[in-house]
Amino acid sequence: MLECRMDYDRRHFSQLAAYNRFVNERLIADLEALPAGELAKPHGSHFGNIQGILDHVIMCDINWLRRFRELFGADEPLNRPRLQPSGHAWTKFEFPDFPDFRRERAIVDSIFVDWIAVADTSRFGLPLAYRDSHDQPLRFYFRDALDHVFNHQTHHRGQVSQILDELGIEHDWSNLIGVAEIPPLG
């Protein structure tokens, strides 16, 4: 029997970051094929439309990455220009031009992938204290907050998926296992 000795947090979160980047690329490719105006068309979502959902997710990702600097501020990926200004005040982002959104999504996904590759994962069990968007103080173990960020993306991609189902558009972005395959030995 093979024994697996590895940094579980790095492996787990690297898989989630790779999966999210891969799925976001596929999602964007599917959305680019939609008729003009479809992204802004009302679809009964809490965020009104597909673009509202996408803007919400990227806004949350950027703001969470800013919060993560509280524990990992020396890590280069968390200090890239996209995450400025410093601090963790909640900032609203909207990208009404889809090419701008596509570019920003790629930048943010790369920050997640690059940062997890260099993060000191021994610190993932530390508490992360912050104030939420309603100025309420909260504390979570960092690892749980990072899991939440990736789960949040998946949840909202599910909303987009439902809208695409209603429009009769084929898509399949659900295969997390596709990025988890162990390479052959030898």
Q: Are 142 and 13 in contact (CB under 8 A)?
A: no
The total of structural domains in the chain comes to 1
pLDDT score for 26: 93
Condensed to tens digits (0 to 9), the pLDDT of residues 67-104 reads 998 889 899 999 998 888 766 566 777 788 899 999 99
Question: Quick check: 101 and 50 in contact, CB under 8 A?
Answer: no
| pLDDT band at residue 167 using 50, 70 and 90 as cut-offs | very high
CB 28 within 8 A of CB 36: no
At 110, list the tokens.
């790369």
| Residue 107 falls inside a structural domain | yes
Please, are residues 82 and 111 in contact by the beta-carbon 8 Å criterion? yes
184 in a domain, yes or no?
no
pTM given for the model: 0.90
Q: Is residue 166 part of a domain?
A: yes
- Cα 136 to Cα 85, 91, 92, 132, 153, distances in angstroms: 21, 16, 18, 5, 23
In the three-class reduction of DSSP (H, G, I as helix; E, B as strand; rest coil), residue 35 is classed as coil
Q: Residue 182 and residue 75: Cα distance in Å, rounded?
A: 28
Residue 44: inside a domain, yes or no?
A: yes
The enclosing domain of 58 has a CATH number of 1.20.120.450
Within-domain flag for 143: yes
The highest-confidence range among 5-19, 62-76, 107-121, by mean pLDDT, is 107-121
Residue 2 lies in a domain: no
In 3D space, the residue among 90, 179, 174, 123 whose CA is nearest the CA of residue 115 turns out to be 123
Query: Which band of pLDDT confidence, cut at 50, 70 and 90, is reported for residue 118?
Result: very high
Number of H-type helices and E-type strands within the chain: 4, 2
**What's the pLDDT at 179?**
66
Is residue 186 assigned to a domain? no
Residue 185 lies in a domain: no
Give the whole-angstrom CA distance, residue 139 versus residue 48: 31
Domain span at residue 119 reads 8-173
Q: What is the mean pLDDT of residues 110-115?
A: 98
pLDDT band at 176 (very low <50, low <70, confident <90, very high): confident
Mean pLDDT of 102-123: 96
